[in-house]
Structure 1
Amino acid sequence: MNIKLAILIVILLAFGCKKKDELSYKPLSFKSEKCADCPKVIVDIFEFNDGNELAKVVNSALKKEVINQLIYDDEIKVSSIEEAISSFKNGYLELKKMYPDETLGWEADIKGSVLYENVDVLSIKLETYIFTGGAHGYSVTRLLNFDKKKNIALENWELFNDPEGFKHFAELKFKIQEDIPQNGTINSTGLMFENDEFYLPNNIGFTKNGLQLIYNQYEVASYADGPMSITLPYAEIRNYLAVEIK
């Protein structure tokens, strides 16, 4: 057999096997209308189009997260991303009406990506930047995890079979990364963990290199320090995980 043809067949087979475990999706974009008094809103996410229960669960979770980032008035019921963009615009117009000479243009930029996927789990990253006046905007990253076999979203505690053991291990590695003395408290070098005790972040997700922990701005440090993250290799944490990662 021709060597080039053999290599091509191997590549195609490998690609086909990989795709078998992955959900199919299409890009989904939303933009605010262009006008002098409209805040700039760009939402670039995706919609899983497999038509199965898992796709419905993931699509619903993504939509909910985007709406939560854009909604201006919690008392208003919003059921779509388009309505959330309108709510964001109305919030800007209300503020501009009250303070016409002080209101700067608002903006929101939301991007979604598949962080990791295998036959068992799916992790999605949603990155948001929002500016609604003041000295600066703020950025936030959300990590969403899903059990592909049970067709459910996973809470952070469901990722571990030994949550306390993992927390202690993560603290050890976090202190090493951030040059915090092992015998010192977690805030001994200027961090702002509540009650001076280490805890896991709200956002934890699977990546190809390991389990990623992300502390968003203000979560454990000042705005100037920015977000903090650490990725723990699977080889070091496999015994703590309730999910099998090969």
Structure 2
Amino acid sequence: MTKHILPTLIIILITFFSCKKETETIQFRETSFNVENNNLVAINAILAKGNEKITSKINRQINAALINALQVRDTDTKALETVEEGISLFNSTYNSFSEEVKEATPPWETQIDVEVMYQSEALASIAITSYVYEGGAHGLTTIIFKNFDLTTGNLIDNVDLFTDYKSFKKLSETYFDKNIEDKNSLFEPSNFKMPKNIAYSNEGIVLLYNTYEIAPYSTGIIEFLIPYNESQPYLAFNHL
């Protein structure tokens, strides 16, 4: 009898701990990047911790977004593999530019902040805010949303955030109209387009248009929120 019980118990324990590992809660923790002779770039970022198969996908996407956010002038950041390489490139590019110009130039600057806007068992919405100044009259602030499926680590396309994207788009247009005081400032005043950046938040669904996306620089970032009591019928993820 004992001979049969022990193997069965071992199988049960292995199954239990395997399932526990697969359902391990994904957490986001602050991280930093230390690069010698860096005086121009400040990054406050986060990385996912937990199930490695899931978090490795999420962290690759976050790192790629950080590298892209550096927006180093006249360089191809696609070849970069690490954030540290991007920081070093930004500094070296500025140093070369400053030496070439041979006159007083304002220091370039990059500030990047990454935060969790919303997290449930199945979904995490991440905001990556970057301010980049590379000379000229002003810098540029850009905000990028990333929505992750926490059961797989995959990015979620905007349309897959909803069960009925077309109906949600109609709802979004009504809120857009309420938030835009002067439609004449838009590039296409009579043509409503959904933004590239949509995310869940604690209060509702956030829609955001970056500078130059639908309007000139003077208009700035356009952002509005649709509360959950209005958006709930169209959501693919439970926000409760």
Q: Does the TM-score normalized on the shorter chain lie above 0.5?
A: yes
Interval of TM-score (by shorter of Structure 1 and Structure 2):
0.7 to 0.9
The 5 A counterparts of 1:11-26 are 23-26=26-29
Q: Cα–Cα, structure 1 residues 45 and 217, in superposed 2: closer, same or farther, change >3 Å?
A: same
Q: Does the residue aligned with 2:96 lie in a helix, a strand or coil?
A: helix
**Which one of the candidate residues 82, 86, 94 is aligned to 1:80?**
82
Report the equivalent of 1:183. none
**Which one of the candidate residues 154, 157, 167 is aligned to 1:152?**
154
Determine the C-alpha separation between the residues in 1 that align with 2:77 and 2:68: 12
The 5 A counterparts of 1:110-189 are 110-179=112-181, 187=183, 189=184
Q: Does the residue aligned with 2:50 lie in a helix, a strand or coil?
A: coil
- Normalized per residue, the structure richer in helix is 2
Report the equivalent of 2:191. 197
Report the equivalent of 1:220. 214
The code of the aligned residue for 1:198 comes to F
Q: Are 1:244 and 2:234 matched, yes or no?
A: no
> Quick check: 1:71–1:87 contact (8 Å CA) kept in 2?
no
Report the equivalent of 2:30. 27
- Give the CA deviation at 1:177: 2.3
Please report the TM-score for the alignment, with normalisation by the length of structure 1. Answer: 0.80
Q: Which range is displaced more, 45-54 or 77-86?
A: 45-54
The code of the aligned residue for 1:167 comes to K
Question: What are the ranges of 5 or more consecutive residues in structure 1 without an aligned counterpart?
Answer: 1-19, 181-186
Q: Cα–Cα, structure 1 residues 218 and 31, in superposed 2: closer, same or farther, change >3 Å?
A: farther
**Which one of the candidate residues 218, 225, 236 is aligned to 1:231?**
225
For residues 54-74 of structure 1, give each alpha carbon's deviation from its aligned partner in whole angstroms, at most 9, with x where no partner exists.
211211111000011125311
Larger radius of gyration: 2
Q: Does the residue aligned with 2:176 lie in a helix, a strand or coil?
A: helix
The code of the aligned residue for 2:172 comes to A
Identity among equivalent positions (%) equals 28
Report the equivalent of 2:6. none
Determine the C-alpha separation between the residues in 1 that align with 2:78 and 2:174: 44
Q: Does the residue aligned with 2:217 lie in a helix, a strand or coil?
A: coil
Stretches (4+) displaced over 6 A:
none
Determine the C-alpha separation between the residues in 2 that align with 1:39 and 1:196: 45
Q: Does the residue aligned with 1:122 lie in a helix, a strand or coil?
A: strand
Please report the TM-score for the alignment, with normalisation by the length of structure 2. Answer: 0.82
Q: Does the residue aligned with 2:237 lie in a helix, a strand or coil?
A: coil
> Quick check: 2:45–2:114 contact (8 Å CA) kept in 1?
yes
Report the equivalent of 1:12. none
Root-mean-square deviation (CA, aligned residues, Å) is: 2.2
